[in-house]
Amino acid sequence: LDSLHSENHVNANSEVTFERIGKMSKNTKSSAFRRIDVDQYNEDNYKEEVDNEPVTAGPNENEVTSLLSQNKQIDALKHVLSNAPLGNKNQAIKDASLNLVLRVLLSFKTSKIEEAVNQLDNEARDVLMKYIYRGFEVPNEGSSAQLLVWHEKVFALSGVGSIVRVLTDKKKL
């Protein structure tokens, strides 16, 4: 008797389930529920976003040299970071900018690095982190140790978010 009762229970639930499925399938035939065009995200339909930001030619070398000769390393750092050639396609400009930034970074005494990083905003620290990683790609004698100190100080202030933003950003230096 119990097994018969269980079978009836299953059959009763099955009928309810089939009823629900029937109603659901009738409702999903309509496309009125779609508010987002998911087809626009199809890989075959993907188009790069157009960047309308102005492209800079990089920092002014004469100004940076002048600031460094006046012992104004922090001002020189702010200048090179604010004039970074982000989005510029010319590799020669990017390389010249990298060499200038490395010259500025290597001019700092280790004890002054934290003070300099603290004076930068988040966007400037992200650009600095990009230059640090680019500097690791072209090591000079003694530059890697100094760049590691810079990386440590920027990471301590900006955290993992800065690294993620730098590694996922399409605008390379």
The CA-based angle 125-127-130, given to 5 degrees, is 110
Q: How many residues does the chain have?
A: 173
Using H for helix, E for strand and C for coil, what is the string for 98-156?
HHHHHHHHHHCCHHHHHHHHHCCCHHHHHHHHHHHHHHHHCCCCCHHHHHHHHHHHHHH
For every one of its 173 residues, what pLDDT tens digit does the chain have, with 9 covering 90 and above? 455 554 555 555 555 555 555 555 555 566 666 677 777 767 666 565 555 555 677 788 899 999 999 999 999 999 999 999 988 888 899 999 999 999 999 999 999 999 999 999 999 999 999 999 999 998 888 888 999 999 999 999 999 999 999 999 888 87
